[in-house]
Amino acid sequence: MILCCGEALIDMIPTETKGGHEAFVPHSGGAVFNTAIALGRLGRDVSLLSGVSTDLFGVQLQAALADSNVGQGYLLRSGRPTTLAFVKLENGHAKYAFYDENTAGRMLEAEALPTLGDEVSALFFGGISLACEPCADTYAALLARADGDRAVMMDPNIRPGFAPDEARYRARLMAMLAQADIVKVSDEDLDWIIPDGDGFEGKAAALQSHGPSVVLVTRGAEGATGILPDGAQVTVPAETATVVDTVGAGDTFNAGVLARLDELGLLSKSALKTLQAAPLEKALAYGAKVAAITVARAGANPPWAREL
């Protein structure tokens, strides 16, 4: 089972009413939540570990998980409110205003973490949960417990604006990246993580030398590139799509990569250390395909396997 570890929140998406006014409609979301939903719809065995409220939005999140076949055995419930992310769309691209103080997700403490069962074969971390304290320290503590052959994938989704102490944020994030087997970054993320370097290839190699076996770099219209353990590269083109909005695109890409590697029996620490070009190319192409479907419709609405 793949355990997705991180935030579940409500995206408030602007929608025009019948009267011509703009209103915000609550959609279940969050980077890690979206990845879990996409994995469930793609037919993988997946659960979510997250701090989730008992309020009406928390109930909405739980219903969405159930509808997409995502396990809830690792949810940590509390009476604190749900994080809200108000979305502003500009030319199809999303900008966010977060309301996250004292929420169920942000205030998750390490003492509340459950013991990982033997059924957990892989872990995924990402999103704003890696920047906001105290939950960022909690997820770092969880990662430190990831022993054995469990594969770890991370999408840092850099959010320096969420961390008042950037040096602390960077130190914690770099320590977590060193423990990951797969790290997926956008080209903007890569520039922040490795500010000095010669082009994205040099920076990707520098990131890989920090610890992960495989580094994936998404580059918008230029597609996605994967750096294999031996330093060789695999690149797949971006899928053609009529973009409605980009909400959840990267999260769905992550799910596609994880799903295909899991199907191929390669989602383990040992297998990723010797990953070859052909299966990585298949995983990247699958990720690009499912992401293209997501951007072609409003909100984070990943495809079901039958749609592929």
CA 149, CA 73: separation in Å to the nearest integer?
Answer: 22
CA 82, CA 33: separation in Å to the nearest integer?
Answer: 13
Kindly report, residue by residue over 56-68, the tens digit of the pLDDT: 999 999 999 999 9
pLDDT of residue 219: 85
Which of 69-78, 174-183, 291-300 is the least confident region? 291-300
CA 251, CA 127: separation in Å to the nearest integer?
Answer: 9
**Full domain range(s) for residue 154:** 2-307
Domain count within the chain: 1
Determine if residue 125 is left, alpha or beta; phi over 0 gives left, psi from -120 to 50 gives alpha, anything else beta. beta
Cβ(51)–Cβ(28) under 8 Å?
A: no
CATH number of the domain enclosing 66: 3.40.1190.20
Cβ(135)–Cβ(110) under 8 Å?
A: no
Which pTM does this prediction carry? Answer: 0.94
Cβ(85)–Cβ(25) under 8 Å?
A: no
Residue position matching structure tokens 């604006």:
161
> Sign of torsion, CA 298 303 306 308?
positive
> How far, in Å, are 96, 116, 167, 177, 202 from residue 251 at the CA level?
16, 23, 26, 18, 25
Kindly report, residue by residue over 269-294, the tens digit of the pLDDT: 999 999 999 999 999 999 999 998 88
Residue 180: pLDDT above 90?
Answer: yes
CA 246, CA 187: separation in Å to the nearest integer?
Answer: 16
- Sheet of 84-90: strand order equals 22-29, 9-16, 84-90, 93-99
pLDDT above 70 covers a percentage of the chain that reads 98
Q: Is residue 238 very low, low, confident or very high in pLDDT (cuts 50, 70, 90)? A: confident
Q: Is the peptide bond before 302 cis (omega within 30 degrees of 0)?
A: no
Residue 245: pLDDT above 70?
Answer: no
Residue type, position 273, single letter: K
Kindly report, residue by residue over 85-109, the tens digit of the pLDDT: 998 877 766 678 889 999 999 999 9
Kindly report, residue by residue over 109-139, the tens digit of the pLDDT: 999 999 999 999 999 999 999 999 999 999 9
> How far, in Å, are 96, 134, 221 from residue 108 at the CA level?
22, 7, 37
Q: The tokens of 206 are what?
A: 């520098």
Which DSSP string do the residues of the chain spell out, in sequence order?
A: -EEEES--EEEEEEEE-TTS-EEEEEEEE-HHHHHHHHHHHTT--EEEEEEEESSHHHHHHHHHHHHTT-B-TTEEEESSPPPEEEEEEETTEEEEEEE-TT-TTTT--GGGPPPPPTT--EEEEEGGGGTSTTHHHHHHHHHHT--TT-EEEEE----GGG-S-HHHHHHHHHHHHHH-SEEEEEHHHHHHHS-SSSHHHHHHHHHHHTS-SEEEEE-GGG-EEEE-TTS-EEEEPPPP---S--TTHHHHHHHHHHHHHHHTT--SHHHHHT--HHHHHHHHHHHHHHHHHHHTSSSS-PPPGGG-
